[in-house]
A and B are shown apart, each in its own frame.
Chain A
Amino acid sequence: MNQPREQEVPPRLALAHISKSFPGVKANEDISLSVRPGEIHALLGENGAGKSTLVKIIYGVQHADEGTISWDGETVSIPSPKAARRLGIGMVFQHFSLFDAMTVIENIALGLDEAVDREVLKARVAAILDSYSLPLDPERAVHTLSVGERQRIEIVRCLLQKPKLLIMDEPTSVLTPQEVERLFETLRQIASEGCAILYISHKLHEIKALCEAATILRGGRVVATCDPKLESTKRMAELMIGAELRQIEHKPGAGAGAVRLSVQDLSLAGEPPFGTDLEAVSFDARAGEILGIAGVAGNGQSELLTALSGERLASSPDAILLDGRPIGLHGAGQRRAAGLACVPEERNGHAAVPDFSLADNSILTARHRLPLAPLGFVARGDVLRFAQSVIQRFDVRTTGPGALARSLSGGNLQKFIMGREIGQQPAVLVVSQPTWGVDAGAAAAIRQELVDLAAKGSAVVVISQDLDELLELADRLCVLNEGRLSAPRAIASLGIDEIGLMMGGVHGAGESTGATHA
């Protein structure tokens, strides 16, 4: 598969003047880019910049209104994903197309266009796993695998079709640093064999480490192309956002005050079927600090959040102390009233009711601390005023307090939910994945609000998989792994490798031996 990389070789993929409109939005406008064989090309942009639409056009999921696609020098049309795969385009989606209850090999078989005999398929998969040194057990059920291992299934699916262009959509958003490093090695090997890679991300240091060329999109247009190895990270970020990057300001004087939330030996059985047991989790969160809880999803994060929010009760009142008061047996409403606010990871359906208006959604949690429903009767005017104030203060882009929660984009809804909780001035705010899927501008705003809340004397606990975020926000960091919480360490004393190892924990060991149950 080694192809000469000379100027005469036509680009593997060349897009010329691609435009695509949806009702009311121009998702892509006059986009041109080209990718050579063996090149790792970054497609950089914020949420809503048009990256996914463009990629869907390349992969045949959507069709361009204008413009041409050429493949190895010839103009082609790509009517369907099947046609894309026939050309040699493979894609690893951000959200994996996997079936949890099935085995790895069944999942791989499902990703193929034609039926392949099981034994033949096994042999081919084994050969690929071997040649790329990917650890993966074909007979394991998917729900027992780590995110990194799941991603490998998707990669193997693509590699089985001997792709000439591999599209990776935000592949590292949920990986540990070690898993990222391993993925990069795999991608470099794939590229060295002549396969072009289109790498979609908004993580600039990764693009600097991996890619040879970058196309930066903003508002559906190409705003720049550059060599990421030469361009500065700050400059690329500004091109991507279209404005000066806001730095988070840590207010001086904030820091360890009195203990506001204290958790002692909290144990909780995981929710079947795939839950993780919490084992004797203990930590303190102090006034004025942000405590980060790192860890790969599925290590007890959702259990910890439901245990703190009061959706599931502790076994004794003393397991959770809020400002010294035992609240372990208080329900969710009582805890909110006492000043412990929680924001779960899932916005639509857990933090907010999708079919309720923003105003109604604000009653749901804020009524405990604000007089929105005195004596059980909804004070409509006060509710609307509160929702409107959240919308203004947190710059939520919406038509008003009457908009349905489901009509907002993920980032805007997250801003509203954070605003709803912060607006109640909680004693302790626990938030899971505060900026998951939120674009850089909104993420910076949310992080700033968290810092400001802590500076006012609240304790903030951030549960996140995003290490960069935790390193930026947290004063102290601990790691949740297999339901056990490590002792907190001051962030200044920690290196990123060290945290990565703590996060990887048993997952990391499982990868080297291939035997440990995740």
Chain B
Amino acid sequence: MTLTRLLAGAALSALLATAAQAQTYTIGFSQVGSEGDWRPAFSRNMQEQAAAYGVDLKFADAQGKQEEQLRAVRAFIAQDVDAIIIAPVVVTGWEDVLQEAKDAEIPVFLVDRDVDVADKSLYATRISADFNLEGRLAGAWLAQESLRDCRIVEMQSTTGSAPAIERKGGFEAVIGQFPGMEIVQTQSGEFTTEGGKRVMEAFIKATNNLEGICAAFAHNDNMQLGAIQAMKEAGLNPGEDVLMVSVDYVPAIVTAMEAGDANASVELRSAVAEFIYPVVTGYLENPTELDKWIVIPSDLHVAN
């Protein structure tokens, strides 16, 4: 009696195990690095949510280096994972390794930044927020808030990176519609608080204490937080004298917005696993042609 029950139990658990195994996918994820606040949150979200979607996630941090990333992707191919997710460090130089993945019949999913390849069949799809839309949202808010008359200082992300090109492009596309709006100073703040502070200090000197400057647009919140510090140290009043708009919506900028030091931030969701995993596992179960870009929505948050 007990034996049969034991056997039945063993059989049942074995059955469950196989069922679970059938749904478990091994997925390699090559992340850019862990700079700023947003990216570590993104990595954590991907790792924490993996089990819920039946994914065994192999995580590789490229520490901001493309060669490290290429090595990680090749390692994933060698391990014969079911799928590879890449958050590219830079947009170029991907043909070879993507071809290798395709030859090994491992689908590649891009998240976050884009890659520049002629043959779009090298990857299944890109699942990401639209950086250009983020720039346009920031520009549109600023146009409305400044009544379409605004001289702007801009803190760019790392020169040549996709967010720098796209956010700047979107922002300029909107403000280009209004003759009263122009970017008078732009520099790279390297995505960091320190960089933003240094660049804003220079802007303050170059524009005689931000005279006639109505807004500061930063490609990410960390740089904007540095800019806020620099302005306060120069006796200026960020959020009041100058409109502060940035992208990411990290916890620290929320605090700054509550304190009235920042005015608006476009949210770049870090909890994106719920958008990414269903697409990947859905494709693995039923490999059909996907749109080449699946957009994760962006929201504009405004201080009261």
The answer to whether A and B assemble together is: no
